[in-house]
Every structure is written in structure tokens, then in C-alpha cells.
Structure 1
């Protein structure tokens, strides 16, 4: 059995999720994924995969929620507007399917990638490192990086 990426499931700090089929993702770069292992207090031991940064281009077809997603407002505004107005992406699952089963939509494995996070204020929801914008072509550009913004990386798309 061979793994093939089928979707990305973005998880927001407030508990919402947004699953994006790989066909709706253009440019994608997740920089320096590393593996950490540990636990906090008495919790279970776990592996986590922190990364240095994320940059992603998402096509207009993804500007919706799926019935399997947890939604607390994206239906009303659309997920693009939600991502731009609320910079609170905390982590993302990379969802895999069995590449030998062409029409399968069953997730056979996932890896959770954690993004750099610095709270903007005392409510600890919004991330100072996250920036995003919607282009004239209605594509969403998201960057989570300590040193660069979406506008700097994708300036030709503004």
C-alpha cells in the first residue's frame, strides 16, 4: 500500500476545521518539518511535527466547508473571508489515501503539522505570524512565517 496525499485539513484555534481537496491547492510549501516527541504533565506521550513556515495558494473552489468539518461561522462568510479576518490557524493534518485504490476517499493515515504561533493579544487566539489575502483571481494566499508576510511572498498576485 502506497500513501498519496488527498487533502489538507486546516485546524483553527477556536476549534473550526476546513478540509481542502488537493485539487484545490496550487502553490504549497511547508518548510523544515521536524519531529518532536514528548508529553505535557500527565498526558499521553505523542509525536508532533512542528514546522518553520507555511505558504499556500488555495483555489476559489475550496471556499466552502464540507459536511465533515466543524464550522462556527465559515458558512456565513465563506472560508476565504474567515481565514483573512481571523488569523488563527494552529495546525494542519496532511490526509493520505491508498494510491492503489483510485476512487477511494478513505483516510488511511495522517500527519499533524504545527505552525509557528505567537499570540497577538491576551485572548491568545490570533497568530502574529499569519497573514493572508484574496487575490483579484479570487485565490486565497496564506503565509505563516516569523519573518515574511503573504503580501511579501506573493506580491505579484496582489
Structure 2
């Protein structure tokens, strides 16, 4: 793993995050707080551990569904960079399925994830999505029943 991303890794991250689906992912405030609290060195360790356990095996458990959508910066970064499952890893990074990742491939994936997190942190404070308005139930809304 590299402290600073190479130009090649940075170019890959910029290409992938340009895709419409991938561009919608951004760190949330609590995920930025984790990065600020723990620092990128510890986040890199988390990334190596999580990716090694969830993505590196030849046939990951629940492949395609093994990565939560958020809660930790590494999880959100995996979806943003197409490193969330072996299928996306193959389609977007050309890393073959059906075999365990090599140490070099795992380092590369970790570099991609950490590069995205670093770029997100450099962009400034996270903007949490606006709250979704709750629908009022018919019960207790003061309206009578129609039938």
C-alpha cells in the first residue's frame, strides 16, 4: 500500500467516479468524523482488513451483497469505486473472478479505496442528504374514514 496514491490510481478513481451511479456516493458526516478521528493510517489498516476478509477470497461469502451501503468510510468507498464485489471488480478494474486476489491486487484495491476517501476528505465537509418527510398515517391525522 502507498501513502499517497499514484497518478494511475488517481486516474482510475476519477474515471470510475465519473459514472452516473458511482458519482452519487459521498462520505456522510459521521463517516468523515471516523476518518478525522482515526486518521488515514488507521483507515488504511481497516481497508486492508475489510477488503482482505470480504473481497480477496476466490468466492467471497454472499458475493454481490457482502458490502454494506455505509456506516464506515471503507464501505461507502467500495461502492463509489466499484470494489464492492468481485463482479464489479472484474467489470471496472479487470481483476478476474474465481481466484483469490494476489497481494499486489489487494494493495491496488486498498489504494483505490483510500484514494477515494482522501479525495472526499479534501472536498470539504459532507453534506448529509435532506431528511425524507414522513407520511402521516390516517390514524391520528384528524381525518375521518371515508367508508
- TM bin, normalised by shorter chain, reads under 0.3
Structure with greater strand percent: 1
Greater Rg by CA? 2
Give me the TM-score of the superposition, normalised by structure 1.
0.23
